[in-house]
Homo-oligomer: A and B are copies of this chain.
Amino acid sequence: MSAPAPLPPLVYEGLVRRALQEDLGRAGDVTTDAVCPPGLPGRARLVARAAGRIAGLDASLLAFRLLDPVVSIEICVPDGHDAAAGETIARVEGSARALLAAERTALNLLGHLSGVATATRDAVARLEGLPTRVAATRKTTPGLRALEKHAVRLGGGTPHRYGLDDAVLVKDNHVALAGGVAEAVRRARASVGHLVKIEIEVDTLAQLDEALAAGAEVVLLDNMDLATLREAVRRSRGRAVTEASGGIRPETIRAVAETGVDVVSLGWLTHSAPSLDVALDVEA
């Protein structure tokens, strides 16, 4: 995947405002307000305490801007780049009170999203030399869909569906409701526009054959063992994009990819990646 362009701040500004508001509450930063004169200038550095892939920096810096509109910012490690442990990610200069009040919100955004990007980067790294893409799922943190998908892209992964509305993904429940794979695909094709792709989840090779016959553009190979995956890839060649999913972990991802699947998708990139350790070193 190529490095993604920055998201328009309009997409995440509401979240950053809400995050600041839930930290400031009704009285603001009572500690800083008690000790720090209003006009005092301050300088601080966002620092990586551990090595990782940076994501969410733009959103994170917006937290400072929302509390001090004339804050001055120098980005050292932009979104999508790797920071070494101890490396300075960005320098901010502005009202000391704003820096301290925005600190935790900024770090929470940066740490969480860099955690997602770093987990993705590491998964991608395990597939070096293979053409297989690493994809996220819709198992994201509520309210953070756009930012977490973007973090996956910054980690070198591919976002998969952003929601229920941008592609068809026929699962077993849908097949049961339609009375068969072919009928489910037929209904989906008749229902959605010519720019919407159709993916079908299959558990067995028999289901795969049915899905391919029905014209699936992508097949989701769910919880298959490696041998079955290899055979599924063979049968799908030239007919559909193949995606492996289901309980794939860092240790097993390369073996899965070596079956030849086009995409490996992993829920834990977004729902369980640990936060990257980042800090704000204030030189108030």
A residues touching B (Cβ–Cβ < 8 Å)? 1-2, 4-8, 10-11, 15-36, 38, 40, 66-67, 96-98, 100-101, 104-105, 107-109, 111-112, 115, 133, 135, 138-146, 149-150, 158-171, 173-174, 176-178, 184, 187-188, 190-197, 199, 218, 241, 243, 262-263, 267-268, 271-272, 274-275, 282, 284
The answer to whether residues A191 and B25 also contact, given A104-B164, A143-B144 and a CB cut-off of 8 A, is no
Q: How far is A77 from B177 in the complex, measured between Cα atoms in Å?
A: 26
9 new A-B pairs (CB below 8 Å) besides A31-B174, A166-B195? A10-B66, A22-B145, A22-B146, A23-B163, A24-B165, A31-B171, A104-B139, A107-B139, A108-B271
Judge whether B138 and A141 touch: CB under 8 Å.
Answer: no
Partner of A25, one of B25, B190, B267: B25
Assembly of this chain: how many copies? 6
Give the interface centre of A30, A146, A282 by most chain B CB atoms within 10 Å: A30
Give the interface centre of A5, A142, A199 by most chain B CB atoms within 10 Å: A142
Judge whether B36 and A24 touch: CB under 8 Å.
Answer: no
Q: How far is A11 from B18 in the complex, measured between Cα atoms in Å?
A: 10
Q: How far is A165 from B31 in the complex, measured between Cα atoms in Å?
A: 8
Q: Which residue of B lies closest to A147 (CB)?
A: B142
The answer to whether residues A29 and B165 also contact, given A263-B194, A284-B173 and a CB cut-off of 8 A, is yes
Judge whether B26 and A145 touch: CB under 8 Å.
Answer: yes
Partner of A28, one of B2, B7, B96: B7
> Which residues of B lie under 8 Å from residue A195 when comparing CB positions?
160-161, 166-167, 197, 199, 218
Judge whether B28 and A165 touch: CB under 8 Å.
Answer: yes
Judge whether B143 and A27 touch: CB under 8 Å.
Answer: no
> Which residues of B lie under 8 Å from residue A18 when comparing CB positions?
142-143
Q: Which residue of B lies closest to A21 (CB)?
A: B10
Q: How far is A3 from B97 in the complex, measured between Cα atoms in Å?
A: 15
The answer to whether residues A188 and B108 also contact, given A29-B165, A101-B164, A177-B40 and a CB cut-off of 8 A, is no
Judge whether A2 and B164 touch: CB under 8 Å.
Answer: no
> Which residues of B lie under 8 Å from residue A21 when comparing CB positions?
10-11
Judge whether A33 and B191 touch: CB under 8 Å.
Answer: yes
> What 8 pairs across the A-B complex have the smallest Cβ distances?
A19-B142, A25-B165, A5-B33, A34-B191, A272-B274, A27-B165, A271-B275, A167-B195
Q: How far is A221 from B83 in the complex, measured between Cα atoms in Å?
A: 29
> Which residues of B lie under 8 Å from residue A138 when comparing CB positions?
23, 104, 108
Q: How far is A218 from B24 in the complex, measured between Cα atoms in Å?
A: 21
Q: Which residue of B lies closest to A33 (CB)?
A: B5
Q: How far is A27 from B147 in the complex, measured between Cα atoms in Å?
A: 9
Judge whether A25 and B133 touch: CB under 8 Å.
Answer: no
Judge whether A170 and B139 touch: CB under 8 Å.
Answer: no
